[in-house]
Structure 1
């Protein structure tokens, strides 16, 4: 079986016959050695030798049968989160094996018609496997000694158990079956993660479940963990909160969700920056920039930049709401900044000491005969504003911000509104409703108890952030907030690279945090800021894992194939689940070599012989000719027929692995408060984004936040009940109060 030209695994397990014979001889030799004409001592020795041979042949038969069964059924594993192999040296990706030429050969061997019975399940095998799955569901439904015994019985024996592996996950079980007997944990060295990882897979094949697996390990390893989820996956949110509590880090957990502003922490994506121009860049990045829109985007950037500089100079923190207010109505900002500028200038330059008197004089003569000429666009403005504008021109000051504000002030209103026509409505979308208060926080509102976080604070605290952007409800706002988050991260990463967490460190060493970023549906938030993020932030301690459906998603988002290729080339590690296009699959298959595989060609022939008198009338010949050809180690078709929850991975210099991602066994998880389960159940009903690839136990409970009724949660964390809640029914009008009090207390940990 192992010494021939080809493996002999697709055949009947004939070793079982010799094993049975050996065990029979052992039984006879032990019980009746006289039947073999042996004394008792020699019979005992013969029995041991025969039994040993029988065990050896049984193991060989079991190996053949187990291999064939692994080709017929897909294996699935559930692991409790607290049992994951978390270490600071390695990141666990799942169970699998290194893909070699042997596995390519085995896969090709299964395509022969004559071996079909060994790679396709019979109706009896299917019935037994389904019966086993029903028994597992029965044992999961309720605890008890009898059910535990049944569960162990149906799971014993691994893949050779006729009751094992009764779940249909789609695709071809053969892809993983060729190496399932040699499975072991597949890990990625933590030191290699700053090369970044790209995860590709079509909808509902397990990307988000892989994200759960990876971020769970990051949380327990003590790393700063940031998850940006444009959809808002309920299981992912619950898993992060539960693992933060399990790891004792719940007080450093921030939940940010645009779809649930009442329970969300607040975040100002433009309030922190290294250079003031970043404010305008983050604000206008989401505006259209193709064709004629490019000029209007540049105008919008210019006015936003002027307004942001003026706000910062006045000691104000820029927010989307203040930008909207000052961009669309620039007069108050203009007069405030001008007064501040001339007051400070009067202290330094005596020529401007009496500027106020000159302003009063100009204001009194505006509109009178002999007064200074006023352009038509200013004739309907307040006299004090016009006077300030005239004084700026008269004084000849060269402050760029003041000159820019004066120029914007002097535009005719209709013209000014046209050149910012795209910016105004965009900012209106960002500041409307409860979401506006979420991303444009009022820093001086004592009644709002929701915390405000920024990235540097998160890094210094060793924080955990889940950001749900609610892209299914409003993709424009979601994309804008996601872009600003990434831009903010790039800016903070630049600071860390230069000064570290502590710029005043006495030893002069730069201390960097380990920041694990997971970006689900990265095509929703990828913009110009994503290129420097993946090719520069590795030196600042960032480890980025990006998840998307295909390479076309990134190309469509950035609008340039070359730039999309630039982004893809900055990911050192690639994990590819099932995809739907050969172009995406070729991103992996083009990086693997070709290998030699062997084909056996049977040749038979018969020839007549002349009558030679030797009694031979014909000769026949039967040969098996072995030929070697080169084929790709992994083909695009292999990736297109992967079952759910399985993937190929290229890790650490194109080491090739086939992995199987375990599901989190979250039944009755005590670390998820019932209040958060209610919100997650509402999310599940609204979004339907769970990528569960099997019939899982619904661990979210049966709580509902409907339009007519909601559950009032009376939290009593001080009583030591670990966040558990009691419930009474109230009217739907109070559901907002429900989420903004009790749930905030639970999630934010009474911060």
Structure 2
């Protein structure tokens, strides 16, 4: 019961005290005092006036903080924390019973004039905004710089301070804005993982920008998977990598810009060969009748992958498509390799296998050998190899599986893999196909190829834009394969560390993963990622819109709950459903709040004849009751860029996320600005809180504007990054410092 929602009456006593101090100092005779006593009395009165003025200012600044939302710009490399020890989340305060009480008090109808801005205050704020714009336009003059600094003095208490309308209820942060300080999470606690939730366009990606910039400057391995392909996020990562001196460790992977992207093979690295088939078929539909076809597709893909690896080939989506849809050449290659090995190991039994093949082929041509009806359309040498395998009765499971697939009638086999073929064609069509199915032996392709273990050893930084708005199927498949590959590599790190060491200690990298729109890429592989990879040095920060997004993606409410329960820390921006908000509010306790009940009464006593006509009574009764520390409606009414956070054992904080100060950033090359502008024109995905948050300079893109990057943009890269040129008229290759070192 602070009683601060009232006029600042302390200002009256402060003015009186200062007046007395002035009279005592200037004309002590008016108070019948000598000069010495007047000076002492004036000093005492002035001190009392300062105390009362400070109290009046506290009441005034508190009320103004309830009316106007503060917005701060902060350079990502100039944070008020030690990045080796703490992880900065924004400016805020720990939410306690006091703030719940203040919030309830501010909702009373008789105090709204102290909570809502008056027309005069709005006019003063608008005048301050006009002065700020003038100062920014004339920033080369001394007067403009002085005026701009003066507008920032006093924070929200400045009557000319320009509050930004970010929607929501500004009172939520105003109840504690006077005690703001940096809200941090200990670096050692981040292995418990952080979940960020918020509806569209409330600041999730801008928060991601702030958090991943810290990881870059802290020297950690940074992996950002962005299904949308946000232009400002890509530029921010590139700029901070340059600023931190780590540009040679930066890889840019973007499905929307394959001409300038690094290449990545999501199925080429594995701990177990069965992972290849799992990653290649995870995105296939698995509900209803589709489940059986998915299992068939997995089986044939697994057989093909094992055969490719045995032949010394690196599996890619392109080679899988080629061999799954046309299995005959792979069957012949693998069978020939198997019999050559058997001829060396068992010469007495298999030394003359080639003569037997010739005999069988002649018999088939002469129609003297029984040929299965399903193989009538196959060439004699292929049928002869199949019959030889049947005669030899080998126990090679891969060869037996290839032979079985080879023996199917073509129409029947095509029906079995009906869902796999079109899916793999989507992944291998066009320029994107060469991006995720790289040709390791093409000397003309200068784009680097990276894998996760290489990134970990280099201490790398990876930005992966999946271009989900153009093709959600390909985006989801590539994202799933990336996560599966990360889980597999993390499992290897858990067992052996980054590199073997003679002292027996495992060397683990600090891998900070940021997954924007995680519901787009979450699959079965995400469960072991969040509940097991913390021991491998992984620190996962996942961003999504609601708990229903993850539930819809994994298709199981229990599994979605399993994923959510593995995040120790929760940061929730504005959401649109009470069910999602309850994920936070159900975890905070109830507190005692005080409710004042005014009671008034009058008693008529004129009949008693004692000279008293009536008696009146006015009381304020204070009642205590239980109330939630935070209600779901509070989460639903958060302004943009603000959040509640439960950190380190449900310590509740109210956070205001600062925007990145990116004005005239010298670390963003003009060529990447052109790429970003093209991305913004095509997708419009960046989350902008206010008009002034757009910090990208418009760059002309020439003939390639609005489409894929053409030779004009290629020349821009050539000019900005000397030594790394686009190859050919199709602008097909850029390497070097733009994406990372050559593989």
Secondary structure in 1 matching 2:691: coil
1:538-617 maps to which residues of 2 (within 5 A)? Answer: 538-609=534-605, 611-617=607-613
Q: Please report the TM-score for the alignment, with normalisation by the length of structure 1.
A: 0.95
Q: Tell me by how many angstroms 1:722 deviates.
A: 7.7
The 3 A distance-change label for structure 1 pair 671 and 739 is: farther
Secondary structure in 2 matching 1:653: coil
Which among 73, 78, 90 is matched to residue 78 of structure 1?
73
Q: Tell me by how many angstroms 1:705 deviates.
A: 2.8
Secondary structure in 2 matching 1:185: strand
- For the pair 1:176 / 2:173, whether they are aligned, the reply is yes
- For the pair 1:639 / 2:627, whether they are aligned, the reply is no
RMSD after superposition: 1.8
What corresponds to 1:439 in structure 2?
A: 436
Contact kept in structure 2, 1:674 and 1:724, CA below 8 Å: no
- For the pair 1:323 / 2:320, whether they are aligned, the reply is yes
Q: Please report the TM-score for the alignment, with normalisation by the length of structure 2.
A: 0.96
Secondary structure in 2 matching 1:308: helix
- For the pair 1:217 / 2:214, whether they are aligned, the reply is yes
1:75-224 maps to which residues of 2 (within 5 A)? Answer: 75-85=70-80, 86-144=82-140, 145-224=142-221
What corresponds to 2:260 in structure 1?
A: 263
What corresponds to 2:342 in structure 1?
A: 345
What corresponds to 2:224 in structure 1?
A: 227
What corresponds to 2:352 in structure 1?
A: 354
Secondary structure in 1 matching 2:587: coil
What corresponds to 2:452 in structure 1?
A: 455
The 3 A distance-change label for structure 1 pair 668 and 425 is: same
Contact kept in structure 2, 1:133 and 1:167, CA below 8 Å: no
Contact kept in structure 1, 2:519 and 2:550, CA below 8 Å: yes
What corresponds to 2:26 in structure 1?
A: 31
CA shift digits 1:28-69 (9 cap, x unpaired)? 111111111111111111111111111111111010000000
Secondary structure in 2 matching 1:543: strand
1:469-508 maps to which residues of 2 (within 5 A)? Answer: 469-503=466-500, 505-508=501-504
Secondary structure in 1 matching 2:258: coil
Contact kept in structure 1, 2:77 and 2:213, CA below 8 Å: no
CA shift digits 1:258-306 (9 cap, x unpaired)? 0000010000000000000000000000000000000000000000000
Contact kept in structure 1, 2:248 and 2:737, CA below 8 Å: no
What corresponds to 2:528 in structure 1?
A: 532
Structure 1 range deviating more: 120-129 or 301-310: 120-129
Contact kept in structure 1, 2:671 and 2:717, CA below 8 Å: no
2-structure distance, mates of 1:223, 1:739: 33
What corresponds to 2:679 in structure 1?
A: 683
CA shift digits 1:649-685 (9 cap, x unpaired)? 0000000000000000101100000000000000000
Structure 1 range deviating more: 606-615 or 527-536: 606-615
Q: Which runs of 5+ in 2 are unaligned?
A: none
2-structure distance, mates of 1:142, 1:496: 55
1-structure distance, mates of 2:428, 2:717: 35
2-structure distance, mates of 1:260, 1:33: 81
Q: Tell me by how many angstroms 1:130 deviates.
A: 2.3
Structure 1 range deviating more: 334-343 or 613-622: 613-622
1:2-13 maps to which residues of 2 (within 5 A)? Answer: 6-13=1-8
Q: Tell me by how many angstroms 1:253 deviates.
A: 0.1
2-structure distance, mates of 1:309, 1:716: 41
2-structure distance, mates of 1:141, 1:490: 51
What corresponds to 2:366 in structure 1?
A: 368
Contact kept in structure 2, 1:72 and 1:119, CA below 8 Å: yes
- For the pair 1:620 / 2:616, whether they are aligned, the reply is yes
Contact kept in structure 2, 1:96 and 1:180, CA below 8 Å: yes
- For the pair 1:664 / 2:655, whether they are aligned, the reply is no
Contact kept in structure 2, 1:70 and 1:177, CA below 8 Å: yes
1-structure distance, mates of 2:3, 2:329: 85
- For the pair 1:747 / 2:738, whether they are aligned, the reply is yes
Q: Tell me by how many angstroms 1:523 deviates.
A: 0.3
Secondary structure in 1 matching 2:528: helix
Q: Which runs of 5+ in 1 are unaligned?
A: 1-5, 726-733
1-structure distance, mates of 2:713, 2:310: 46
Contact kept in structure 2, 1:667 and 1:697, CA below 8 Å: no
1-structure distance, mates of 2:14, 2:419: 80
2-structure distance, mates of 1:275, 1:141: 61
Q: Tell me by how many angstroms 1:368 deviates.
A: 2.2
The 3 A distance-change label for structure 1 pair 247 and 296 is: same
What corresponds to 1:468 in structure 2?
A: 465
Contact kept in structure 2, 1:271 and 1:318, CA below 8 Å: yes
